[in-house]
C-alpha cells in the first residue's frame, strides 16, 4: 500500500532497538558535556576561576571535537558505521575517566580535549546511522526520541551528578558518565548489526578528496552554515547558566537539581510530541514557531534580577522546550541534504562546525560576561541573550532555504522514479 505524506510509518522492532541504543549513547555524551554547566558555579568557586577561564574549559571540548570531526570526515564513509561508533565511543569513555582523575584546572582542560576528540564525533556517526536506516518520514520521531537523552540527562543525570558533586566533589559525576557509557558500549557491540550499505557505493576518491568533495558541494553549504549558527546561539548561554541562576536570580545550590529536573521533565514530555508533530506538519513552520517563542523567553530571562524560584523554573521549562523543539525539525531537514555516499562525511563536517562554532561562542561569552568577584552577580549576560536572538533570525532564514531545497529535491526524485504504466 502506498503511503501518503500524512500517514505514519511504524517502526520495526529492530528500529526501536537502534533508537534505544543510540539514545543511551546520546544520553552519556550529552550528560558528559552538559554537566559542565551545572557544575560551573562549583568549579569557578573551588578552582577560583574567572569567567574567561571557565569559558576556555568549556571551549576545550568543543574545539577538539570540531577538529576531530574534520579529521575523520574523509574516512567516515569508508568503514562499517558500527565499528566506527564503537571506536570513538570507547575513546570517549576513556577521556571521561581522565576528567574524573584530573587534579587541577590544567589537567581538566587536557582531559576535556581528549574527551572532545572522541565524543564530538559520536553524534555525527549516529546521524549517519539514522539517515541510513530511517526514511525522512520517520526521522522527526527518531529525533524526538533521541532528544529524550537530553531530557533524561536533566531529569536524572544532572540532579544526580549535582548531588554526587555536593557529597564527594565535582570529579565524581564523570565516574557516573563513564559507567553509563560502558553499558551503552556493550549494548552496541552485542546488538547493533554491521552497517555497510554505503560501502557498496564505489568510492573512487581518496579520503582527503572525499572530504574536499563534501566541502565543495554548493547545496551542502547552507546546511553547514545553519548548523554552525544554531550551535553558536546555544553555546553562548549554556556555560554560565548555573552561575547566572545562583548569582543573579538567587537560586540556591540545593535548588539547582530541582531546576534542571523540572526542565528535563518538561522536555521529556514535549520531545516525543514534537517529534510526531514534525512528521505530520511542515517542519519549517514548526521550527519557526519554536524559534519565536525561544527568542521572547531568552530576552525576558537574561534581563531578570532576583526572582522567585517558581518563576525561574517556569521560564526554564518554556525556554528548554522551545530550544529542543526547534532542534528536532531542523535536524530532520538537514539530515536530508546529503546523498547516501556523502552522509558520513557531511555529518562529520556539520558536527565539526557545530563544535567549533560552539567553542568560539563559549569563549566569546566568557569575554562578554564579567564578574567582579566569585560572589557577585554576573554582568552583561543579557548581551549574550540579545546576540542569540539576532543569530536565531538568521537561522530562520537559512532553514527556510533548506526546506525549499528539500522540497525541490524530493519532487525531482519522484519524477525520476515515476513508475511506468503496466497492463493489469
Q: What is the DSSP string of 111-154?
A: HHHHHHHHHHHHHHHHHHHHHHHS-HHHHHHHHHHHTHHHHHII
Residue 6, SS3? coil
| Secondary structure (DSSP) of 332-364 | HHHTTSS-GGGHHHHHHHHHHHHHHHHHHHHHH
CB burial readout 405-418, b (16+ within 10 A) else e = bbeeeeeeeeeeee
- Examine the pLDDT at 60 and tell me if it is beyond 50: yes
Q: Is pLDDT larger for residue 256 or for residue 48?
A: 256
Rounded Cα gap, residues 73 and 128, in angstroms: 12
Burial profile 37-66: b = 16 or more Cβ within 10 angstroms, e = fewer: bbbbbbbbeeeebebeebbbbbbbbbbbbb
Residue 424 pLDDT class (50, 70, 90 cuts): very low
**What CATH topology corresponds to 15-192+206-413?**
Growth Hormone; Chain: A; (1.20.1250)
Q: Is the pTM of this model over 0.75?
A: no
What is the tens place of the pLDDT at every residue in 293-326?
A: 999 999 999 999 999 999 999 998 888 888 778 8
The domain locations on the chain are 15-192+206-413
pLDDT score at 423: 47
Report the candidate in 116, 139, 127 with the shortest Cα–Cα distance to residue 70: 116
List, as one string, the DSSP characters of 59-90: HHHHHHHHHHHHHHHTTTTSS-HHHHHHHHHH
pLDDT in the model for residue 422: 45
Least confident of 102-111, 293-302, 345-354: 345-354
DSSP assigned state of 156? I
pLDDT at 205 over 60: no
Q: What's the whole-number average pLDDT of the chain?
A: 80
Over residues 405-420, the pLDDT tens digits come to: 888 877 776 666 665 5
Q: How confident is the model at residue 151 (pLDDT cuts 50, 70, 90)?
A: low
Q: Are 88 and 125 in contact (CB under 8 A)?
A: yes
Return phi, psi of residue 187, to 5°: -60, -45
Name the region of 420 (left: φ>0; alpha: ψ -120 to 50; beta: rest).
beta
Average pLDDT over residues 74-88: 79
Rounded Cα–Cα distance for residues 378 and 376 (Å): 7
Amino acid at each position: 500500500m502506498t503511503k501518503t505524506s500524512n500517514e505514519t510509518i511504524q517502526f520495526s522492532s529492530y528500529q526501536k532497538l537502534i533508537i534505544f541504543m543510540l539514545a543511551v549513547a546520546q544520553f552519556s555524551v550529552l550528560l558528559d558535556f552538559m554537566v559542565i554547566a551545572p557544575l560551573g558555579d562549583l568549579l569557578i568557586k573551588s578552582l577560583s576561576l574567572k569567567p574567561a577561564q571557565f569559558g576556555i574549559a568549556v571551549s576545550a571540548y568543543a574545539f577538539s571535537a570540531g577538529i576531530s570531526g574534520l579529521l575523520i570526515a574523509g574516512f567516515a564513509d569508508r568503514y562499517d558505521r558500527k565499528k566506527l561508533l564503537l571506536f570513538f565511543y570507547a575513546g570517549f569513555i576513556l577521556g571521561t575517566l581522565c576528567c574524573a582523575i584530573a587534579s587541577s584546572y590544567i589537567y581538566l582542560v587536557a582531559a576535556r580535549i581528549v574527551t572532545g576528540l572522541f565524543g564530538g564525533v559520536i553524534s555525527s556517526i549516529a546521524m549517519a546511522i539514522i539517515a541510513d536506516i530511517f526514511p525522512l518520514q520517520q526521522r522527526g520521531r527518531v529525533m524526538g526520541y533521541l532528544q529524550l537523552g537530553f531530557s533524561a540527562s536533566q531529569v536524572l543525570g544532572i540532579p544526580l551528578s549535582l548531588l554526587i558533586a555536593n557529597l564527594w566533589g565535582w570529579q565524581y559525576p564523570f565516574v557516573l558518565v563513564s559507567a553509563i557509557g560502558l553499558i551503552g558500549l556493550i549494548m552496541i557491540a552485542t546488538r547493533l548489526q554491521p552497517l555497510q550499505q554505503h560501502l557498496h557505493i564505489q568510492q573512487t576518491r581518496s579520503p582527503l578528496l572525499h572530504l574536499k568533495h563534501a566541502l565543495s558541494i554548493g547545496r551542502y553549504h547552507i546546511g553547514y552554515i545553519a548548523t554552525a549558527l544554531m550551535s553558536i546561539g546555544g553555546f553562548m548561554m549554556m556555560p554560565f547558566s548555573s552561575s547566572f541562576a545562583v548569582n543573579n536570580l538567587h537560586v540556591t545550590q540545593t535548588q539547582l537539581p530541582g531546576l534542571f529536573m523540572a526542565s528535563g521533565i518538561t522536555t521529556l514530555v514535549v520531545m516525543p510530541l514534537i517529534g510526531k508533530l514534525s512528521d505530520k506538519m511542515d517542519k519549517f513552520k514548526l521550527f519557526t514557531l519554536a524559534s519565536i517563542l525561544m527568542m521572547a523567553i531568552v530576552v525576558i530571562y537574561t534581563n531578570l534580577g532576583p526572582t522567585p524560584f517558581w518563576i525561574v523554573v517556569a521560564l526554564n521549562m518554556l525556554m528548554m522546550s522551545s530550544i529542543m523543539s526547534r532542534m528536532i525539525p531542523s535536524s530532520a531537514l538537514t539530515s536530508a541534504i546529503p546523498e547516501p555516499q556523502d552522509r558520513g562525511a557531511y555529518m562529520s563536517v556539520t558536527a565539526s562546525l557545530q563544535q567549533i562554532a560552539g567553542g568560539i561562542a563559549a569563549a566569546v561569552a566568557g569575554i562578554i560576561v564579567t564578574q567582579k568577584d566569585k560572589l557577585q552577580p554576573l554582568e552583561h549576560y543579557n548581551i549574550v541573550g540579545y546576540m542569540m536572538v539576532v543569530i536565531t533570525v538568521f537561522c530562520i532564514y537559512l532553514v527556510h532555504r533548506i526546506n525549499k531545497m528539500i522540497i525541490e529535491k524530493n519532487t525531482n526524485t519522484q519524477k525520476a522514479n515515476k513508475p511506468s504504466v503496466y497492463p493489469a
